[in-house]
């Protein structure tokens, strides 16, 4: 049963279960909704890096901090499509395109929709993260064939003001609702290790699990150290078992959502990643780099899946009519 009426008290009780019981519950639900041996794979490309006006205290791409990241212009569609082809050849089933914006300008929408169409024509699932969207922008991306839109809430409502002031949790959730109502699948998760308490991590998941519909994909990120940003001073390394418990809780609260191990895997052992898969994580980013951070080499991921007897799930790109595809 899919529930959207979870309480923080319920979630905290589940989170505190003895580890074997927590893992059993998570794995049982995981098997009821997914092939437990299948892992989805996605590749991430920064199509416009740096220069973002937001003050998110964890982000290397904010123009408000001196992080050494140089701002770039929006890439051309053909350059992005060529990168997507390389990602597909390397084993990705979904191609995610990220731009460091507060929100995209209307003048950029034609180029963005050309990217979506071109990547979809390769047979890849498509995903974008561009900041906040208006309903009209959602419609344009949907008409182009965009499968997923990523817009993380980052942390709990209670802790959000500690990491950003130029937008609110309500702003984040408004875009998530625009995307959901527009018929694009929602990718929405958060970041661990920014100085938040255990209660904040649980509250973050409950926020996602009590949306009108659960996110289709829930990324779980470990914060990567970034010099020059405020979070650097308050960050704390996440205990490995705390990560596994959060993944298991995400699986129990949102049993039909894909749970992705996102940023931070370079610091995870094979054994920790395997425990996360057992707890219900069933997606990873592949390729040597995410937006501005490193990611495990492709051969390492392939070797891990081989040793575990697991495999990459098949891509399921959105259907586009002949008329749309021919435009």
Residues classed as catalytic: 52, 56, 59, 96, 127, 187, 260
Buried b / exposed e across 285-307, counting CB within 10 Å, b at 16+? bbbeebbbbebbebeebeebbee
DSSP 126: E
The residues, ordered by sequence, that sit 6+ positions from 64 with a Cβ below 8 Å of its Cβ are 53, 54, 55
Q: Is the distance from CB of 135 to CB of 183 less than 8 angstroms?
A: no
Between the alpha carbon of residue 282 and those of residues 6, 10, 25, 224, the distances in Å are 22, 24, 16, 21
- CA–CA distance, 62 with 49 (Å, rounded to integer): 10
- CA–CA distance, 300 with 292 (Å, rounded to integer): 20
State the alpha helices, DSSP H only, in the chain.
8-15, 19-33, 77-89, 109-120, 135-144, 169-181, 198-209, 240-253, 270-279, 298-308, 322-326
Q: Which two tokens stand for residue 69?
A: 């990241």
Residue 96 backbone dihedrals phi, psi, to 5 degrees? -105, 135
- CA–CA distance, 98 with 131 (Å, rounded to integer): 9
Q: Which two tokens stand for residue 301?
A: 């991921």
The residue among 178, 175, 77 whose CA lies nearest residue 126 is 77
Q: Is the distance from CB of 277 to CB of 37 less than 8 angstroms?
A: no
Query: Tokens 């995903």 label which residue?
Result: 127
Taking the CA atoms of the chain, what radius of gyration do you get in angstroms?
19
């Amino acid at each position: 049963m899919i529930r959207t009426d979870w309480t923080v008290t319920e979630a905290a009780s589940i989170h505190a279960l003895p580890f074997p019981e927590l893992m059993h519950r998570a794995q049982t639900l995981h098997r009821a909704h997914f092939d437990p041996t299948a892992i989805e794979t996605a590749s991430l490309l920064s199509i416009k890096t740096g220069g973002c006006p937001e003050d998110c205290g964890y982000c290397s791409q904010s123009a408000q901090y001196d992080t050494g990241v140089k701002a770039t212009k929006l890439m051309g569609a053909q350059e992005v499509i060529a990168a997507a082809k390389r990602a597909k050849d390397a084993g990705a089933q979904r191609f995610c395109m990220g731009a460091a914006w507060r929100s995209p300008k209307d003048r950029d929408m034609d180029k963005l929709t050309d990217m979506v169409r071109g990547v979809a024509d390769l047979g890849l699932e498509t995903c974008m993260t561009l900041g906040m969207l208006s309903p009209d922008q959602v419609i344009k991306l949907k008409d182009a064939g965009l499968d997923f839109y990523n817009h993380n809430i980052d942390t709990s409502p209670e802790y959000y003001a500690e990491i950003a002031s130029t937008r609110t949790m309500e702003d984040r959730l408004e875009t998530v609702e625009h995307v959901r109502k527009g018929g694009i699948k929602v990718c929405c998760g958060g970041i661990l290790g920014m100085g938040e308490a255990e209660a904040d991590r649980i509250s973050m998941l409950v926020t996602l699990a009590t949306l009108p519909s659960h996110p289709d994909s829930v990324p779980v990120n470990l914060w990567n150290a970034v010099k020059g940003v405020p979070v650097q001073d308050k960050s704390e390394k996440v205990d490995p078992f705390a990560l596994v418990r959060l993944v298991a809780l995400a699986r129990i609260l949102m049993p039909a959502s894909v749970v992705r191990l996102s940023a931070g895997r370079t610091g995870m052992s094979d054994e920790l990643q395997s425990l996360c898969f057992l707890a219900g994580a069933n997606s990873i980013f592949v390729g040597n780099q995410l937006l501005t951070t490193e990611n495990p080499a492709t051969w390492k991921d392939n070797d891990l899946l081989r040793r575990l007897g697991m495999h990459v799930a098949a891509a399921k790109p959105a259907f586009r009519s002949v008329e749309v595809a021919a435009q």
